[in-house]
């Protein structure tokens, strides 16, 4: 009887250890999304990297670089907080030195780059690796003999004041509108913006004469830190608070789709059932 109790306790302990290992896993995962549109004739693959915070993935970022290379993206979108305000930029530079000239790469700031107090130096560093910095502008990128709009806005924290949930500053909204006004409605458009909670700014209003974005790529929420798959998609996120609505995943905003990455940061806060992720978006022709 005593031996049986010990065996039960041992099995319970083993179960708890296994559960915690799975729940707290920091292993990188690749998450795929598929979007169909009549605006492309051949598939376009975008890799979305957010919230790296200069985290290391093995020596010289070998793990992250290898996983990204295996996906063979047509372009790489660096959607904010790639660098950090408290951590040295070594991890960021190692990644950019490997991918900046290999792929068409585009970058927008996150809040931590602004909190560093050296955002212009960070932009110059990122640009030096061949990455295109987007600051309220849209450009046409040629992919497989077709054109795709890549648009980007700086983080709202760069405009002199903090903003309320779901409402950007007037200056930030002007830069966002500038991106919209450059679109032609003919080619597929992707907006890079760090903040997922600003959904009212991303949604195309019927009375707005400008063209809406087809896709918004965002980050910032870190997956809500704690998740329970199938039940809770995030416990707490910056600027959204408890039980965030836009912690990670795919969201339909009228005619616009927003995809929120749970980010790449392996930080001091626990990530429960919330592995760091590389997001891959396949834009496919709709037949």
Q: Is the pLDDT of residue 166 over 60?
A: no
Determine the Cα–Cα distance for residues 27 and 119; give it in Å rounded to an integer. Answer: 30
Q: Is the pLDDT of residue 162 over 60?
A: no
Q: What is the pLDDT of residue 229?
A: 87
22 by DSSP, 3-state: which? helix
- Segment 62-72, tens digit of pLDDT: 999 999 999 99
Residue 165's pLDDT band, with cuts at 50, 70 and 90, is very low
Report whether 94 contacts 61 (CB < 8 A): yes
Determine the Cα–Cα distance for residues 270 and 283; give it in Å rounded to an integer. Answer: 33
Closest CA to 247 of 226, 270, 266: 226
Residue 234's contacts (CB-CB under 8 Å, 6 or more residues apart) are 221, 223, 224, 225, 226, 227, 243, 244, 247, 248
Q: What is the pLDDT of residue 9?
A: 73
Q: Tokens 């492309």 appear where?
A: 40
What CATH code is assigned to 27-285? 3.60.21.10
Q: What is the pLDDT of residue 74?
A: 98
Helix axes 62-71, 90-99, angle to 10 degrees: 30
* Residues in the chain, total: 287
Residue 142's pLDDT band, with cuts at 50, 70 and 90, is very high
pLDDT above 90 as % of the chain: 73
User: Both tokens of residue 233?
Assistant: 């998609």
Burial 17-55 (b: 16+ CB within 10 A, else e): eeeeeeeeeeebeebebebeeebbeeebbbbbbbbbbbb
Average pLDDT over residues 206-224: 86
Residue 75: enclosing H or E segment and its boundaries?
Answer: strand 75-79
Q: CB atoms < 10 A from the CB of 56, how many? A: 17
List the chain domain ranges: 27-285
Q: Is the pLDDT of residue 204 over 70?
A: no
For strand 137-143 and strand 105-108, is the pairing parallel, antiparallel, or unpaired?
A: unpaired
Q: Is the pLDDT of residue 163 over 60?
A: no
Residue 41 vs residues 130, 143, 147: alpha-carbon distances, Å:
28, 10, 10
- Segment 4-45, tens digit of pLDDT: 776 667 667 766 766 566 766 889 999 999 999 999 999 999
Q: Is the pLDDT of residue 217 over 60?
A: yes
If you average pLDDT over every residue of the chain, what do you get?
Answer: 90
Average pLDDT over residues 211-226: 94
Average pLDDT over residues 262-266: 94
Determine the Cα–Cα distance for residues 78 and 104; give it in Å rounded to an integer. Answer: 11
Q: What is the pLDDT of residue 170?
A: 79
Lowest mean pLDDT among 10-14, 182-186, 211-215: 10-14
Report whether 148 contacts 122 (CB < 8 A): no
Closest CA to 245 of 280, 214, 200: 200
Q: Is the pLDDT of residue 279 over 90?
A: yes
Lowest mean pLDDT among 4-13, 103-112, 121-130, 266-275: 4-13
């Amino acid at each position: 009887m005593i031996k049986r109790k010990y065996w039960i306790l041992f099995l319970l302990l083993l179960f708890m250890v296994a559960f915690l290992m799975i729940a707290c896993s920091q292993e990188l995962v690749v998450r795929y999304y598929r979007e169909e549109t009549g605006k492309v004739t051949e598939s376009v693959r975008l890799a979305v990297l957010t919230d790296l915070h200069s985290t290391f993935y093995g020596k010289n970022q070998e793990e992250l670089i290898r996983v990204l290379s295996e996906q063979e993206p047509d372009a790489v979108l660096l959607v904010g907080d790639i660098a950090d305000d408290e951590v040295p930029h070594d991890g960021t530079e190692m990644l950019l030195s490997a991918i900046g000239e290999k792929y068409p790469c585009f970058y927008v700031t996150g809040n931590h780059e602004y909190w560093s107090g050296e955002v212009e130096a960070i932009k110059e560093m990122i640009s030096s690796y061949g990455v295109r910095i987007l600051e309220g502008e849209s450009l046409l990128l040629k992919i497989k003999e077709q054109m795709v709009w890549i648009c980007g806005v700086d983080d709202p924290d760069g405009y002199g004041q903090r903003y309320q949930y779901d409402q950007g500053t007037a200056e930030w909204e002007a830069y966002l509108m500038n991106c919209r006004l450059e679109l032609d409605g003919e080619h597929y458009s992707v907006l890079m913006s760090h903040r997922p909670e600003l959904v009212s700014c991303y949604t195309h209003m019927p009375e707005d004469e400008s063209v809406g974005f087809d896709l918004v790529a965002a980050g910032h929420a870190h997956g809500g830190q704690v998740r329970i798959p199938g039940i809770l998609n995030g416990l707490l996120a910056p600027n959204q608070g408890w039980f965030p609505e836009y912690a990670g995943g795919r969201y339909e905003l009228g005619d616009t789709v927003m995809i929120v990455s749970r980010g790449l940061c392996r930080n001091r806060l626990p990530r429960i059932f919330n592995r760091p992720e590389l997001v891959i978006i396949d834009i496919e022709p709709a037949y």
